[in-house]
Amino acid sequence: MIDVPKEALTEIVNERIAEAIIRVREDKIRVIPGYDGVYGRPIIFEEEASTEKMPSEKVQQLNLTDFI
Q: What ranges do the domains of the chain cover?
A: 6-67
Nearest to 29 by CA among 48, 44, 18, 9: 44
Cα 68 from Cα 66, distance rounded (Å): 6
In the chain, the percentage of residues whose pLDDT exceeds 90 is 53
Query: How do residues 20-29 score in pLDDT, each as one tens digit?
Result: 999 999 999 9
The pLDDT score that the predictor gives to residue 31 is 93
